[in-house]
Chains A and B, each alone.
Chain A
Amino acid sequence: MNSVFVLIIGFIVAFVGYRVYAKYIDTKVMTSDPKKATPATMYMDGVEFMPTSKNILFGYQFKSIAGAGPIIGPIIAIQWGWLPALIWILLGTFFIGWVQDYSSAMVAMRKDGASFGGLSHKLISPRARIILLAFIYFYLLLIAGAFGNVVVSTAIGLKASPMAWLFMTIGGILAGQMIYRWRKDIILTTVVTVVIAMLGIWLGTIAPSDKIIGTDLANSRPFWAIMAFVFCYFAAVLPIWRFALPINYVASYIVFLGLLFGIIGIFVLHPDFTLPAFTSFSIRIGPIWPIMFVTIACGAISGWHSIVSSSGTARQLENELDARPVGGGVMFVEMMLAIFALIIAGTIFASPTDYGAAVAKGPGGVFAAGVSKFLGALGMPADLGKAYGSVMMIILAITIMQLVIRFMRIATSELLSDVSQVFRNPHIGTIIASALGLVLVLTGWWQYLWVLFGGANQLMASLALMLVTAYLMSEGKPSAWTFYPMIFMFVTTVAALLFTSYSLLQKVFTGAVTGEALVGNTLMGAVGFFLVIAALILGVEGLKAFNRYRNLRMQAKPTAA
């Protein structure tokens, strides 16, 4: 099948989903009212609660949710064939993905801008709140591990990427200095720092890492893993304006331009899919259900989005009608990003053997080869295109990773400061988070790590849908449109986590793994089981809440005369 045809199908699904289904839910079920005051207008504090234009929020939401997830998931999931992956991306987004992003924003908005912890306390139970927050900590750990692995495999597989990464860091630090210290013009700052980052990409092609630091170090996983976590350490302990945010600022231009021209390149080349539409129901990492459904996480549905929608976007929407374009609309754009990644993986290799060899080295190589091909259609030399693709992959992974380590530092302080004052120290919290992430990166097989991350991510999504369902029941509104997606996601993700954890721990108990793999399997398996137990407790609490709301509604009905 031709890739342009797949893109057109994607556009049609996005159009129908947004203009028909989302509009129906927004107007008839949630009954959005432009006259109703939103938390942003009611509680405006000029900081968190601030009415903001929907165009700005569209960009903010897109930037916050579009990380490495929608790209890596389809690249791995194409091992089952591109057709099941495409169907899940389209149907997942249409029936579940946008529903979760939009409804999380709406519920938070209707509940005075409350965050997830507060919402679960109010709508489900006090215990649900504590478990949810503990769940989030391990979820963040899996993000750090999975994305750290992507950074390491890309830095090793594509030797031009470390130089580009270094220059992007220099450009980012300079951007922070120019904006906040030297008070330079933003356009000048942007041009200077983006040019520095671009220069790094070009330098990477003429000075690859193995020529500078030697082959041994350039191929060393521990070395690049430590580099990644040192980077995250600075992002976590330095003031956010000095390191993390300006690097994200410069990086966003690199990613945005790459994606824009990459998609134009697809239209220019319009290649056919070369990989099979369907391979097998079961592959090395597991069966199509439930594993494929969690492998493609962010491109179909992702719990991360609900956190951004509720704690970030919902407090800035100036009008209830903006929730559909910002919450729902951005998810459909993310779906197109996942289709873009699927087209890359499905069209650039001559045979499944070539794909298998490339993906064994990590998803970064596959993505970079695709970006190189499609940017090549617009005249960019292949080696430069590959370096550009590799730094895009590193940016997409490490910009999320650095924020995750920063949040884990805060979480460590929040959760453990009562145990000992030492956990209040930001360096201690960061070192704990980095050490746990480092162990996962160095000892875990990346495909299992990705599946666990996807499972935790989508379990988070089903918990978000549980909160939304509880809200709808408490308000007496129709709740089937969130209840059934919640059940599907809950069963699928619990099954995926159980399957993966069992596979990992079985190897530990039968002595099939030793050394590093023993540590990695044990840690990943234990985290997976912990997430399942936490989710089951939350599920029981959720069911009790649903029954409570149902009974309340029954009691509220007037008796027949």
Chain B
Amino acid sequence: MSEEEKAGFFQAVKEFVYGVAAHDSARFALKTRASMEHLFILITMGDMLGVPILPPYYSLRLLPYVVPQISTWKRRMLREKDLTDALA
């Protein structure tokens, strides 16, 4: 087995162990953070989805900071979800 193959094999084993032990935890941590972020954007930019909460003056002032998140946020907010989403 060449050095490159050996490194590839150990990398695969490392990734497998990570997948078994920690990937789920990482996903849930990310989901929790995303929920917080989405709630914040909903409060500040809600009128983009037709839910005006904050006066537009403040929304406009925050807009430049939120721009990178908007497309993902809209997609996640508007995507159809059901119980099976919580299962995996």
Contacts and interface: CB of A to CB of B under 8 A. Distances in A.
Closest 8 CB pairs of A and B: A59-B19, A312-B88, A117-B82, A55-B15, A56-B19, A59-B20, A311-B88, A59-B16
Contact of A241 (B18, B21, B32): B32
A249 B83 contact: no
Given A45-B75, A307-B88, A414 B19 contact: no
Given A43-B75, A407-B87, A115 B82 contact: yes
Interface string B6-50: 000001100111111111110111111110000000000000000
Contacts of B1: none
B13 to A, nearest CB: 8
Contacts of A47: 27, 30-31, 33-34, 76
A219 interface: no
B2 interface: no
Give the interface size bracket for B toward A: 20 to 34
B19 A58 contact: yes
A407 B84 CA distance: 9
A522 interface: no
A312 B72 CA distance: 18
Contact of B21 (A45, A252, A403): A252
B32 A60 contact: no
Given A45-B72, A55-B15, A240-B28, A118 B23 contact: no
A241 B28 contact: yes
Interface residues of A, number: 53
B83 A59 contact: no
Of the listed residues B22, B31, B81, B82, the one surrounded by the most CB atoms of chain A closer than 10 A to its CB is B82
Of the listed residues A45, A61, A248, the one surrounded by the most CB atoms of chain B closer than 10 A to its CB is A45
A245 interface: yes
Contacts of B72: 44-46
B54 to A, nearest CB: 23
A288 interface: no
A46 B31 CA distance: 9
A332 to B, nearest CB: 15
Contacts of A52: 23
Given A48-B76, A63-B21, A117-B80, 13 more contacts: A47-B33, A48-B27, A56-B23, A59-B15, A59-B19, A64-B88, A137-B83, A186-B22, A240-B28, A241-B29, A249-B25, A310-B88, A311-B88
B83 A56 contact: no
B67 to A, nearest CB: 15
